[in-house]
């Protein structure tokens, strides 16, 4: 039997996506073995602690330990409690030692066996260890948007070795957005316009208000369905879409930062989180916005159009907000929480390349991350 190619990896972030990724790794063992690959998890961290295999060169977390990590984090428990049941198999490092230990693992494995750093956190603080990891010869796989939407200097460092970075899941969960754009760009076909509905939450909200439902009712329904963040203003601000737009704009070569993007928030500043609690926003703030959105929906309808919350990247311009679009266009036909991206280039000028599908959800995002990890297998000995 042929020897399996081993990919050592460290996972940062044990929220919904990180846990789902570990579950996918465990459940896909036989599939990956048939593909000649074995994913060797040697470390897992959350915001407060890091668990590392007792010897990162020869040991790894077995599937029982990976399942226990998922169980612990689903219960919001600390990774440090693992030491009681799995003390011989792993070491735990807390706060102050965490970053130093991650750097040590990167330097030990980066240029020997190779190492993949997988960032499924939502933290802006991982960028420092990720840029170090790139210098130390590691590969990086991202579901976390914040490192790629940091400063231009950080971005340049992260993408300085294009074969060693994958970040498909930062924009469209498991949808092939980055891969499709890279293929178009590397063929010399200039992309001149991208229009995308890249928030499942806002896609759902806009298609529901189109049916005449008040915005306040739709947002509350979306929250109860688990479509929104605990504070729906995190979605309604448009910042998440702006980060995705920035990643796409930078991929096209635009030298911009997040503050270069014109972002339309669906609520005014005086209803912001620093001024109004979530409860007050939902009960008294949101209903005040119903009439304005309802009027905009009616005006669009008179023109045969619908409203969609989209990012538009064209020329040197990048904007995020509500646009009036033809009802029969791919974006106009969009219903529910799907994502849709239209890419216009020389080859796709009259009819854009359209990418559509589920663009959110822990399962879909984790599957996208797993596919990205397998995509870099040729860089490992």
Active site residues: 244
Residues ≥6 apart with Cβ < 8 Å to 83: 90, 92
Residues ≥6 apart with Cβ < 8 Å to 234: 228, 240
């Amino acid at each position: 039997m042929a020897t399996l190619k081993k990919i050592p990896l460290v996972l940062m972030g044990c929220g919904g996506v990180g846990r789902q990724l570990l579950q996918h790794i465990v459940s896909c063992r036989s599939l990956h073995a048939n593909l000649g690959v074995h994913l060797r998890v040697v470390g897992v961290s959350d915001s407060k602690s890091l668990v590392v295999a007792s010897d990162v060169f020869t040991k790894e977390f077995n599937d029982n330990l990976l399942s226990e990590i998922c169980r612990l984090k689903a219960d919001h428990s600390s990774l440090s409690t693992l030491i009681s049941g799995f003390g011989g198999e792993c070491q735990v490092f807390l706060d102050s030692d965490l970053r130093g230990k991650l750097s040590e693992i990167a330097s030990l494995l980066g240029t020997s066996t190779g190492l993949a750093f997988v960032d499924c956190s939502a933290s802006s603080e991982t960028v420092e260890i990720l840029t170090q990891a790139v210098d130390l010869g590691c590969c990086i796989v991202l579901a976390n948007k914040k490192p790629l939407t940091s400063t231009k200097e950080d971005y340049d460092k992260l993408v300085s070795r294009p074969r060693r970075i994958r970040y498909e899941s930062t924009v469209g969960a498991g949808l092939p957005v980055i891969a499709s754009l890279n293929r178009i760009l590397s063929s010399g076909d200039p992309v001149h316009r991208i229009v995308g509905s890249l928030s499942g939450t806002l896609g759902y909200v806009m298609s529901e208000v189109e049916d005449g439902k008040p915005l306040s009712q739709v947002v509350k329904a979306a929250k109860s369905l688990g479509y929104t963040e605990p504070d729906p203003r995190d979605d309604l601000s448009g910042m998440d879409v702006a980060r995705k737009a920035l990643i796409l704009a930078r991929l096209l070569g635009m030298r911009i930062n997040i503050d270069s993007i014109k972002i339309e928030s669906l609520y005014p500043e005086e209803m912001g989180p620093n001024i109004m609690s979530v409860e007050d926003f939902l009960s008294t703030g949101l209903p005040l916005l119903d009439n304005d959105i309802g009027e905009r929906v009616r005006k669009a309808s008179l023109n045969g159009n619908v409203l969609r919350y989209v990012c538009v990247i064209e020329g040197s311009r990048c904007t995020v907000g509500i646009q009036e679009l033809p009802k029969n266009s791919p974006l106009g036909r969009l219903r529910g929480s799907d994502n849709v991206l239209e890419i216009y280039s020389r080859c796709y000028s009259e009819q854009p390349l359209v990418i559509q599908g589920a663009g959110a959800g822990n399962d879909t995002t984790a599957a996208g991350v797993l596919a990205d990890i397998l995509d870099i297998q040729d860089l490992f000995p």
